[in-house]
Structure 1
Amino acid sequence: MKLIFSLLFLSLKLFPFFHPAIARGGARTSNTSGFMDHSYVGGWARHLFEENQFQKLDNLAQGYMTNSDLEKAIKSFGQRCANIARIYSIGKSVRGVPLWVMEISDKPGEEEAEPAFKFIGNVHGDEPVGRELLLLLANWLCDNYMKDPLATLIINKVHLHILPSMNPDGFSLRRRGNANNIDLNRDFPDQFFPINDDVDVLQPETKAIMRWLEEIHFTASASLHGGALVANYPWDGTRDKSKNYFGCPDDDTFRFLASVYSRSHYNMSLSEEFKGGITNGASWYPIYGGMQDWNYIYGGCFELTLEISDDKWPTANELPILWHFNKMSMLNLVASLVKTGVHGRIFSSDCGRPLPASVAIKGINYTIKASQTFADYHRLLAPGGRFEVVATMPGYKSKRTHILLGEEAATVDFVLDPEITPTGTLLRSGCDCSCDNKSRLRLVGFLSGPQLELSFILILILILISMFLCFLLKRRTIFTYLKHRQSVGQKRSIVV
């Protein structure tokens, strides 16, 4: 007993000597009590927690790919699967790590009249499961092309782009934010509040994503997260920051897409917390400046936020199980781009050229645009409804049609007529026929004179020939395209 009292007395004597060493580098308020300031104790505790958390995650990282490993794996995939893959970078992280993307298609790097889908992993540095699963997905598609029907459908009919790590710096630092400690899923312009409106001050990873959507016309996308098991869809916030269900104009479509993922998952749809394994972001976990809402509003891209594992950073030996649980969900989500909705192309009737027109669904306050090159559009819709599809283009008469959308996708091509002014001229025409008025006047001048009567006959013949050639030219594109549709067996094709 005497020994215990002696040790206690000694510890009380020595406490003041240890106090300054503990407080070094921290802020202290002036006090004479001889005890540490409570605000500093909290900071010290947080510092220790961060160190312990880093050590814990660093131990869990054993078996996961490092950033260097990931880059080698991506490049190795690109070489092994060069017939269906292209590797490119959309930018660099704060620390200069390239943000590598794998494009998977039967014609990688070529623009086609097909929908594009993107997967993004590791948005948060301490949620690395997506990095691993997306590499597994890419390799599975490569290994099963022309063997598995689903793999073949995706590669032949979709341009799939996979960014395994949006936040490689955060992964190295074992923390949520990037190297500047910014949460990248709060760094996008917001629809409700004036945050992140100054693009110049956004993080390089954020700006890389924004440039990416300017370059590629994505139809849909998904980002992979961890910490829960649910498919999250817009909106992610509300105008008054309340925690309530707040659906976007395409709420039915998003619920359908989220359910495609959830129902294909091993156990996500069985969730006791989330009915059907899906949730509206605003009713569950409101955020502002998120990537999901920004994609839909500013990028014309339907994005889901997928929480794919209850643990943010599970041990590496769980990765094969997580891949098994999520594989069909990822495949079916990408395939839904061509299996459902309404798709088609838009042409001009006066010359047959593709028109990058707008496509809207009556009753849904959201418009998508056809692509610039091929004027193809891909409007995702929940199956089982009747929809009125409207195509509009400045200078052209709009057209509309009704479709009854079943379980299969519908194909609707539009041929728009130019508006005609009161004077009888076309308001807008994209035709490039070499039969303009100046050429005709020069021809008249050349042929006038003694042979005037013969000149008029020759002019008339030339005009008729040129008109006939222009007619053939403007119909060729449309007829060739429609014939191609029939030859490849496109179902439910409608021309309006």
Structure 2
Amino acid sequence: MELVSLVLKRLFLLLLALLSCPTNTIARGGDLGAHPPPGFMGRGGGLLARRLFEDNYPEITDEMTRGYMSNSELEEAVKKFSKRCANISRIYSIGKSVQGYPLWVIEISDKPGQEEPEPSFKFVGNVHGDEPVGRELLMLLANWLCDNYMTDTLATLIVKHVHLHILPTMNPDGFALRRRGNANNVDLNRDFPDQFYPINDIKHSRQPETRAIMTWVKEGHFTASASLHGGALVANYPWDGSQDTRKQYTASPDDKTFRYMASLYSRSHYNMSLSQEFEGGITNGALWYPIYGGMQDWNYIHGGCFELTLEISDNKWPQANELPIIWDYNRKSMLNLVASLVKTGVHGRIFSSKDGHPLPASVMIKGINYKVNASSTLGDYHRMLTPGESYEVMVSMPGFQQKGTRILLGDESASLDFILDPDEATKNEHTSVKGFGCSCDGKDKLELVEYLRGVHLEIYILVCISLFLCFLLRRKTLCKLLNRRKQITQKRPVVV
């Protein structure tokens, strides 16, 4: 029996491997042979691989690093902040770097660690190891909020109405090694799954720092975010790449909102909006120079998170005595960007009319091909939008009737709650299941869906075992059985 069990397990793993094999499709359109995108190799040998390794960087001297916190000093500063400002903060780690440095995050809120129907914002610094200004500015931001809470209007607004998460360094190894990439010499801002070139979307094949960010975003339900870089002075917004790999303006569905957010940062900055290179101090990523595997596009597509890439200093590694000036130039921009989560957009909660339970429904804006999801526990949603325009807000969830309404968004945010009515089919299912002692409230429905998914997986395994046994008994009929199964599968609705 153990031998049979082992054979069956190996058969199942083999089937999964076959199902996950990559196809010959390179991308959606575009000839990579003619226009290879930055960060990718050509078609040599019939393969297309990510090229994330770069070696030619200017040498960073001891004199340049003097005055910057080392990784151990940064960790000490984070823990010291947590003790000093324990009433409005907590710290936690989202993982470790290749060399084992914890990726510490500071959460700032009047109720840190508690889930509230409030928007969440995250700052990420030091994505590239040789761009350390962000890690210093983010610690200055955290301490400024702590020092000015309840005395400064903007600081109080952020602490009371936003959950702010600060990751001072995403790439501590690169900082210690004084280079762009991490300890494996991988550029972390080319390491995320990409919509235009989905070559390898297997999570475990990515760098530990990248995986940590991906898990963090999936679990965090962030409304918006920004990563801090150096080497230019501009607010960059999606998309970062283009489908045909050319340098051209490539707009996301929320292009107008992204331009508003980028302009808000640029106009609040001391001199970013006066740029001679970038009109208004902002740029579309693909128009500036296309990249693939970038973090901001992935955040928007997979996390429902509106992310900007902020280039905050012309010099990648300026002298430490320049940091106070750079902080002074960027402080108002950073604060205004976080506060915009409360000051603009549409916010609300979604409930079931039958039992009052919160619903993780989807929120859509008519004419914009993008959705944000309400949280599964509180049913709250936060949708960034450009002020001064009219929007038709639509809310939908399987098993409930869709609802919508039109709003005119002024200079302030709009608060809009929805109460969804179950559709007739759901009401019948509710009555039927209730007879077996199931309350079937919003939470139980989600648990029921998860249970059914598990049942389908068990059925799938049993079918695989049956096919294997049929192969041993009647090898000649295997193809017919497979074809028949394929036809049946195509007729079944997918359980979501």
SS of the residue aligned with 2:93? strand
The one of 348, 355, 359 aligned to 1:355: 359
Counterpart amino acid of residue 75 in structure 2 = E
Q: CA deviation at 1:428?
A: 5.8
The one of 294, 300, 306 aligned to 2:304: 300
Q: CA deviation at 1:285?
A: 1.6
SS of the residue aligned with 1:258? helix
Alignment match, 2:323: 319
Alignment match, 1:256: 260
Alignment match, 1:241: 245
Q: Does 1:364 align with 2:365?
A: no
SS of the residue aligned with 2:86? coil
The structure, 1 or 2, with the larger RCO (C-alpha pairs under 8 Å, 6+ apart) is: 2
- 2: CA distance, partners of 1:427 / 1:289: 46
- 2: CA distance, partners of 1:270 / 1:398: 46
The one of 200, 203, 216 aligned to 1:199: 203
The one of 58, 63, 74 aligned to 2:62: 58
Q: CA deviation at 1:429?
A: 5.2
So what's the TM-score if we normalise by structure 1?
Answer: 0.76
Cα 1:429–1:334 change in 2 (3 A) is farther
Counterpart amino acid of residue 301 in structure 2 = I
Alignment match, 1:16: none
Alignment match, 1:146: 150
Cα 1:301–1:438 change in 2 (3 A) is closer
What whole-Å deviation, never above 9, does each CA across 1:146-170 have from its counterpart, x for those lacking one?
1101001000100000000000000
What whole-Å deviation, never above 9, does each CA across 1:56-86 have from its counterpart, x for those lacking one?
3432000000001100000000000000000
What whole-Å deviation, never above 9, does each CA across 1:58-117 have from its counterpart, x for those lacking one?
320000000011000000000000000001000000000000000000000011111110
Alignment match, 1:412: 416
Counterpart amino acid of residue 74 in structure 2 = L
Counterpart amino acid of residue 339 in structure 2 = A
Q: CA deviation at 1:195?
A: 3.2
So what's the TM-score if we normalise by structure 2?
Answer: 0.76
Alignment match, 1:426: 427
Q: CA deviation at 1:131?
A: 0.5
Q: CA deviation at 1:258?
A: 0.3
Cα 1:427–1:176 change in 2 (3 A) is farther
- 2: CA distance, partners of 1:78 / 1:385: 41
Cα 1:226–1:426 change in 2 (3 A) is same
SS of the residue aligned with 2:416? strand
Counterpart amino acid of residue 194 in structure 2 = D
Q: CA deviation at 1:213?
A: 1.1
Larger radius of gyration: 1
Cα 1:239–1:102 change in 2 (3 A) is same
What pairs with 1:261-280 in structure 2 (closer than 5 Å)? Answer: 261-280=265-284
Q: CA deviation at 1:201?
A: 1.3
What pairs with 1:44-83 in structure 2 (closer than 5 Å)? Answer: 53-54=58-59, 56-83=60-87
What whole-Å deviation, never above 9, does each CA across 1:425-459 have from its counterpart, x for those lacking one?
705659x9xxx6578xxxxxxxxxxxxxxxxxxxx
- 2: CA distance, partners of 1:160 / 1:396: 33
- 1: CA distance, partners of 2:177 / 2:329: 28
The one of 165, 168, 171 aligned to 2:172: 168
Counterpart amino acid of residue 78 in structure 1 = S
Could you tell me which runs of 5 or more consecutive residues in structure 2 were left unpaired when the two chains were aligned: 1-53, 442-496
Question: Contact 1:395 / 1:427 at 8 angstroms: preserved in 2?
Answer: no
Q: CA deviation at 1:140?
A: 0.3
- 1: CA distance, partners of 2:290 / 2:315: 20
Counterpart amino acid of residue 225 in structure 2 = S
- 1: CA distance, partners of 2:416 / 2:352: 15
Counterpart amino acid of residue 182 in structure 2 = N
- 2: CA distance, partners of 1:204 / 1:391: 36
Cα 1:347–1:61 change in 2 (3 A) is same
Q: Does 1:223 align with 2:227?
A: yes
- 2: CA distance, partners of 1:164 / 1:317: 19
Q: Does 1:134 align with 2:138?
A: yes
Q: Does 1:381 align with 2:385?
A: yes
